[in-house]
Amino acid sequence: MFEPVQAFSRTQNLTNESTAIFFRKVYGWMTIGLFLTGIVAMLTASSETLINAIFGTPLFWVVIIGQFGLVMWLSARLTSMSSQTATLAFLGYSVLSGVTFASIFLVYTGTSIAQVFFITGGTFGAMSLWGMVTKKDLSKLGQLAFAALIGLVIASLVNLFLQNSAIYWITSYAGVLIFMVLTAWDTQKLKELSLSVDASTSLGHNVAIGGALMLYLDFINMFLFLLRIFGNRRD
């Protein structure tokens, strides 16, 4: 009579172990990506030659288009490319992001950037943990957050011309809330996905890279909006 219970227990243990291995890869690659972005951003910001060569020249738009193209290509071809290609594409995107994010070191003080980074880390960790352990289906909440994100992008683009301070602060706080929700939702989606992939295979590695990119983008965007709120600008 105890055999079904024992079989269920073994299956549950295997499921938990598979999920743990998958998320170790996801968070590991995400951390590597963030570290690489930060190092490249600091090195770029510390070089006057690179700053002059990138910002205020057409090269800046080349980097922006390269970022967009790379993330779209990686997302579209993730399951068909080799694990080495997926890894290099993710690392390449992290490097390009570091180049563009060098500008924040020119606008905000290093101390405030570090403080906001730790605030983001704590907030991201709490929301990702919630997405991992909650029994509630976050899909509806996540879909609402994604719809709000589209409105946020439109409002931000409009405000580039209006330069309205009220819109600036509203979009800043809304951006933080949106990416908090998206972090939890994306984590829950990855948890469900971890049940259907083997992280030790090439496909499992690529899916983990895709998950790392997803959470990397959530973290980076949350950080940028928090920086707008708490960052101290240079004189």
Flag whether 29 is in a domain. Answer: yes
Flag whether 200 is in a domain. Answer: yes
Flag whether 50 is in a domain. Answer: yes
CA of 4: how far to CAs of 9, 24, 150, in Å? 9, 30, 48
Give the end-to-end CA distance of the chain in Å, rounded to a whole number.
Answer: 74
Torsion angles phi and psi, residue 80, rounded to 5: -105, -15
Q: Which residues contact 193 (CB under 8 A, 6 or more apart)?
A: 22, 207, 211
Per the structure, the count of domains in the chain is 1
Flag whether 96 is in a domain. Answer: yes
Collapse the DSSP code of 52 into the 3-class scheme (helix H, G, I; strand E, B; otherwise coil) and give the result: helix
Closest to 189 (Cα-Cα) out of 206, 214, 217, 153? 214
Which residues sit opposite 233 in a β-bridge? 108
**Which structural domain, as residue segments, surrounds residue 31?**
3-230
Collapse the DSSP code of 108 into the 3-class scheme (helix H, G, I; strand E, B; otherwise coil) and give the result: strand
Q: 173 and 220 in contact (C-beta within 8 Å)?
A: no
Flag whether 106 is in a domain. Answer: yes
Flag whether 213 is in a domain. Answer: yes
Flag whether 235 is in a domain. Answer: no
Q: What does the pLDDT profile of the chain (235 residues) look like in tens digits?
A: 444 434 334 444 446 788 899 999 999 999 999 999 999 999 999 999 999 988 878 888 899 999 999 999 998 898 899 999 999 999 999 999 999 999 999 999 999 999 999 999 999 999 999 999 999 999 999 999 999 999 999 999 999 999 999 999 999 999 999 999 999 999 999 999 998 888 889 999 999 999 999 999 999 999 999 999 999 998 7
* Whole-model pTM over 0.85: yes
